[in-house]
Chain A
Amino acid sequence: AQSVTQPDIHITVSEGASLELRCNYSYGATPYLFWYVQSPGQGLQLLLKYFSGDTLVQGIKGFEAEFKRSQSSFNLRKPSVHWSDAAEYFCAVARPLTGGGNKLTFGTGTQLKVEL
């Protein structure tokens, strides 16, 4: 069975500071990994994804994530946080479903607060 762990429920950073959100996964095969962001009262927006190839992936809004197989991690990073980045962030892993398609398993989310 696959699982995703986001060990930090809440993180507070100052605007302009760097950010790293942790994500660890458990999955038997090569994972498909995702980071989503959810602003208050809004739906989920895809930040970036990893399927294969270069282990450092670039996403929207200046985010990047690095896949480390040896650590079963897919941490999200941003060099300089903006106040508008305050939101909840979800890490997810995908596995194939019977009959086709993929099932995403989500972590419980990390709430990011940005101090001005």
Chain B
Amino acid sequence: NAGVTQTPKFRILKIGQSMTLQCAQDMNHNYMYWYRQDPGMGLKLIYYSVGAGITDKGEVPNGYNVSRSTTEDFPLRLELAAPSQTSVYFCASRPGQGSGNTIYFGEGSWLTVV
């Protein structure tokens, strides 16, 4: 059971480049999330999804886009990378209603924009 899988683990981007952080979970979870973690700032929610075809903004959505075409996948897109997007990104998923509130995290993706 792989759980939540994120790729790539490390990436360096130039300003203005675009990229997609991939996230997949094999637990048939309905709810998926993208967080970013900055030093001394804790985790901030970027986008979340409550099921395939449904996404919504979190606290810090600017500069990002997401899609949820399948239950398993929840990619995060950076269209025009900026230095402020240098961060560690965590994807997470959660079972549906009645299954408790535990959120399972991927191992993180370290992104540097130069």
Contact = CB atoms under 8 A, between A and B. Distances in A.
A associates with B: yes
A108 interface: yes
Contact of B31 (A4, A46, A101): A101
Interface of A: 4, 9, 32, 36, 42-46, 49, 51, 90, 92, 94, 97-104, 106-109
20 contacts: A4-B42, A43-B90, A43-B105, A43-B107, A44-B90, A46-B102, A46-B103, A46-B104, A97-B48, A99-B50, A100-B97, A101-B48, A102-B94, A102-B103, A103-B45, A103-B48, A104-B33, A104-B43, A108-B41, A109-B42
Interface of B: 30-31, 33, 40-43, 45, 48, 50-51, 54, 56, 58, 90, 94, 97, 100-108
Contacts, number: 62
B31 A43 contact: no
